[in-house]
Amino acid sequence: MNFLRNFMMGRRGTDELNLALVVGAIILSLLSTVVAWFASNAALTIVYIVLQFLGMLLLGISLVRMFSRNIPARERENAAFRRVRVRVCAPFRRAARNFRDRKTFVYIRCPDCRAELRLPKGKGSIIATCPKCRREIKTRT
Ligand SMILES: [Zn+2]
């Protein structure tokens, strides 16, 4: 264990992006296995090889990042990945929240500033005031 501790000294170790790379490599590997079941012609064999190669590539990138001594660069990559992940996941999180709150709240957007308003459901016709730009919005909930 001492050898490993000394070896990892000053190296980046693993992070969120590395985990995503490993998960991506596993998915590509499983996909290539499924393709291999049906690989009866040259085209599918090429697809199999490409999927295997991409999986190995992701795994290789993940290992290089893990043992890298250029920690600031790896942190920048991880931060960029997290920004993209948050942006990609936002619509799904919003949809899950809307579904969870569907019986108690209605979510609308302000037509002026695009701010999101959460209004109580089942109050009939109401006038809501946007907390950001103070515009009054007539709506039914
Ligand atoms: Zn507004």
CA 119 to centroid of ligand 1, rounded, Å: 14
Q: pLDDT value at position 82?
A: 96
Name which of 113, 122, 117 is nearest 140 in CA terms: 122
The predicted model gives 47-65 an average pLDDT of: 95
CA 76 to centroid of ligand 1, rounded, Å: 34
Name which of 137, 140, 135 is nearest 127 in CA terms: 137
Tens digit of pLDDT for each residue in 118-140? 999 999 999 999 999 999 999 99
Q: What is the pTM (predicted TM-score) of this model?
A: 0.71
CA 134 to centroid of ligand 1, rounded, Å: 6
Q: pLDDT value at position 121?
A: 94
CA 117 to centroid of ligand 1, rounded, Å: 9
Instruction: Report the C-alpha gap between 141 and 125 in whole angstroms.
Output: 7
Q: pLDDT value at position 122?
A: 92
CA 127 to centroid of ligand 1, rounded, Å: 13
User: What value does the mean pLDDT of the chain take?
Assistant: 93
The predicted model gives 50-59 an average pLDDT of: 96
SS3 label, residue 23: helix
pLDDT band at residue 117 under the 50/70/90 scheme: very high
Instruction: Report the C-alpha gap between 114 and 2 in whole angstroms.
Output: 56
CA 108 to centroid of ligand 1, rounded, Å: 11
Tens digit of pLDDT for each residue in 91-114? 999 999 999 999 999 999 999 999
